[in-house]
Amino acid sequence: MTTPPRIVIVGAGFAGLWAALSAARKLDLAGKPDGFVEIVLIAPEPILYLRPRFYETDLSAASVSLTELFDTAGVRYVQGSVQNIDVEKHHLAYVSGSGGAASILTYDRLVLATGSKLFLPETVPGLAHYSWNVDQMDTALKLDAHLKALATLPDSPVRSTVVVCGGGFTGVEIAAELPQRLRGILGEQARIRVIVLERAACIGPEMAPPPRPVIQEALGSLGVEILLGETVVSVDADGVTTASGMRIASKTVIWTAGMRADGLTAQIPATRDAFGRIHVTRTLEVPGVDHVYATGDVAHVPVDDEGHLALMCCQHALYMGKAAGNNAMAALLGLPLAPYRKPQYAVGLALGPWGAVYTVGWEQTVASVKEEAQEVKKYVNTQVIYPPPPDRAAIFAAADPDVQAKLY
């Protein structure tokens, strides 16, 4: 009996999920039955964690089971964490949740979609041990438990002060949420202080200039302090110290400063950028290793003819995943590959009770603010980034790489 060719997708985040569904759609469009090409997705859990929502106070709706979706689309899920990739032998080694010896999974096409992780520089003493973050579901839940436990401590500045290290997207969103969140825990009369430390000379340094005044206005109205030009040099159980010699006493130091591509990228013989992302072609193939595709936060790729690069965010991961899955399947079926394109770009940034800011274009022109922008952000968080219902027609319609949500 002939073994069908196999596409293996590593990762169940936005890029991995949509790569699997888009590959299944391509197979269906070609008139081939499920299993004609086996589509396998391997990840520790069959769950999509909605990472863009981890700044929120209530995380009960920030994850979605993918089991029924995979079953409907004809995708086989394998539980496991990939430890090694051998591109010469076309196989990978993984361990299951129960541990034990590694298992081997062979592939004809590999889609690496393992995402990114928060970067904790070892040069900052105490950072890994004493800081908190909202990078993953488990760390966001740990932060939530820690914040609630502050209510058991005596009232003091060190208890009621939270320092957010990093004034980028994540830092701004969590900082804007914290004053109201802390008052719900410590009481309306608590002397709460939320401070954002940013080493750059402006808030939102990775953003274009237009939305920065809006962010400053929003954080100011919420009582959040912004300290610019401050670099964290150490963290301990009672606070943080900066390069200027500033000392801020706090039981809660939240680190949001910087991301790096997942470490599995180092096992692919390829050029990588400063964030560890693999340089890929416009069809998301790894040059010199054409049977391997990289997508989402592990891929360095232009999104248009002007040279704008894909950012490490769900907005790009959604559509890069669709393109990678489509092309991996097309290659196995002998069909033309399609270059990844995403010329439009938009940003919705949550700003706590103040509302939000929504920008359009790479120049990030402010399109709406406050309640109007908050409605856009709510729509993105509850509709755009959610997977489709487990209906085969709906899945394949949503997995079309040429169809993009109107906001993104």
Let me know if 35 is exposed, middle or buried by CB neighbors in 10 A (0-12, 13-18, 19+).
Answer: exposed
Q: Looking at residue 97, what is its pLDDT?
A: 75
| CA distances for 217 relative to 196, 212, 302, 357, 369, angstroms | 14, 9, 33, 11, 11
Six token digits for residue 219? 């954080």
Asked whether the domain spanning 120-257 has the same topology as the one spanning 6-117+260-345+388-398, the reply is yes
- CATH number (3.40.50.300, 3.50.50.60, 1.10.3720.10, 3.30.160.20) of 120-257 reads 3.50.50.60
Q: Looking at residue 351, what is its pLDDT?
A: 98
3 state DSSP class of 322: helix
Segments making up each domain of the chain, as ranges: 6-117+260-345+388-398, 120-257
Q: Looking at residue 296, what is its pLDDT?
A: 98
Q: Looking at residue 1, what is its pLDDT?
A: 54
Residues 6+ apart with CB under 8 A from 232: 124, 127, 165, 197, 199, 240, 241, 242, 243, 257
Our CA dihedral for 398, 401, 404, 408, rounded to 10 degrees, sits at 120
Return the residue matching tokens 């990030």: 364
- CATH number (3.30.70.20, 3.40.1410.10, 3.50.50.60, 3.20.20.70) of 6-117+260-345+388-398 reads 3.50.50.60
Q: Looking at residue 247, what is its pLDDT?
A: 98
- Per-residue b or e along 215-235, where b marks 16 or more CB atoms closer than 10 Å to that residue's CB: bbebbeebebbbbeebebbbb
Q: Looking at residue 102, what is its pLDDT?
A: 92
pLDDT tens-digit profile, the chain (408 residues): 578 999 999 999 999 999 999 999 999 999 999 999 999 999 999 999 999 999 999 999 999 999 999 999 999 999 999 999 999 999 999 999 777 789 999 999 999 999 999 999 999 999 999 999 999 999 999 999 999 999 999 999 999 999 999 999 999 999 999 999 999 999 999 999 999 999 999 999 999 999 999 999 999 999 999 999 999 999 999 999 999 999 999 999 999 999 999 999 999 999 999 999 999 999 999 999 989 999 999 999 999 999 899 999 999 999 999 999 999 999 999 999 999 998 888 999 999 999 999 999 999 999 999 999 999 999 999 999 999 999 999 999 999 998 877 676
CA 25, 343, 335, 4 torsion: positive or negative? negative
β-bridge partners, 113 = none
For residues 207 and 348, what is the distance between their CA atoms, to the nearest angstrom? Answer: 12
